Amino acid sequence: MVGKICGTGSYVPPHVMDNDDLAKIVDTSDEWIRERTGIGKRHIIEEETTSYMAGQAALRAVEQSGIDPSEIELIIAATSSSDVVFPCAACEVQKTIGAVHAAGYDMNAACTGFVLAFNTAQAYISAGIYKTVLVIGADSMSNLVDWNDRGTCILFGDGAGAVLLRAEEGTPVYMAAHSDGGKGQALTLQSRHRKDWDKESGEESYIYMDGQAVFKFAVRKVPEIIEEVLEKAEMSLEQIDYFVLHQANRRIIEAAAKRLKTDITKFPMNLEEYANTSAATVPILLDEMNREGSLKRGQKIMLAGFGAGLTWAASLFEW
């Protein structure tokens, strides 16, 4: 059995901060940000929380599927920014959508989280353990960045996306995942409770990033893992309809497409509108593609995520 996507949903906060707004806070410009990243704006939470956004995305996915929430057996929420340590975001979502029979837990692999959660759900389904699984990626990066650091605050935004998987007979899902803890210092966050942390240690706790190291890592590892999954599936690059990559930076996606010698039109992007929403980028993009009618049954979709850890993962499935 494989987990077929029977519903997608997403939520982004209505409050928008464009590059000109950022230029009033840090020494930057719309031109610099667009040229180096492709980002034009980001949606930022005001009253919303990570769990709230996750719940709204989940409600939309469930509504689209037509499946009764009581049939959902498992909820996995990929997030590194849930508002409280526990209860986990997945249990908050369970409450929001009324999935009374579901088990729920969170997974944290930063920006790679959604692809790993998706693969985990597929493993449960192919093992016959669960039939109906909700997978969410949700993050409030605006709570984690230092708004005085122009090297990082320009890159991120807030949002959530969800897919509902239902067990069906079908083409297997092929997947791969890797980590390199030895290079973890390239992208770190000491605590998501930065005010408490500051009080105790006197240290600031924000996202720290060696941008060039992360850039080089992504450009090398994303094409590698895509090739690895294709080899497992005994398929070629030409057979893939869409490569849905983590939306961190336009230049990373363009470089990956170039290394794979694949037309950039097969690499959909929405980071101009939302920036990097960490675990949420892949499911938000999938939801947009689904709702605008770009996805047709039988198409081959390759997901690929990368981020802190360092971690990277990919998944190949038939829509």
> What is the contact surface with ligand COA in residues (CB under 6 A)?
28, 32-33, 36-37, 111, 150-151, 154-155, 209, 211-212, 214-215, 248-249, 276, 307
Tokens 């209505």 correspond to 14
Cβ closer to ligand COA: 72 or 189?
A: 189
**Minimum gap (Å) between residue 208 Cβ and ligand COA:** 11
Cβ closer to ligand COA: 166 or 246?
A: 246
Cβ closer to ligand COA: 36 or 291?
A: 36
Q: For residues 137 and 139, give the distance between their C-alpha atoms in angstroms, rounded to a whole number.
A: 7
Determine the residue with CB nearest ligand COA: 211
**Minimum gap (Å) between residue 135 Cβ and ligand COA:** 19
Cβ closer to ligand COA: 72 or 78?
A: 78
Tokens of 205: 């706790």
Respond yes or no: is residue 101 known to be catalytic. no
**Minimum gap (Å) between residue 37 Cβ and ligand COA:** 5
**297, 319 contact by CB (below 8 A):** yes
Catalytic residue among 19, 43, 108, 111: 111
**Minimum gap (Å) between residue 120 Cβ and ligand COA:** 20
Cβ closer to ligand COA: 98 or 151?
A: 151
**Minimum gap (Å) between residue 107 Cβ and ligand COA:** 16
Cβ closer to ligand COA: 78 or 154?
A: 154
Respond yes or no: is residue 111 known to be catalytic. yes
Catalytic residue among 91, 119, 153, 246: 246
**45, 257 contact by CB (below 8 A):** no
**Minimum gap (Å) between residue 155 Cβ and ligand COA:** 6
The Cα-based distances of 280 to 20, 122, 175 in angstroms read 24, 18, 19
Which amino acid appears at position 141 of this protein?
M
Catalytic residue among 108, 249, 276, 290: 276
Q: For residues 161 and 100, give the distance between their C-alpha atoms in angstroms, rounded to a whole number.
A: 21
Question: Which residues does the annotation mark as catalytic?
Answer: 111, 246, 276
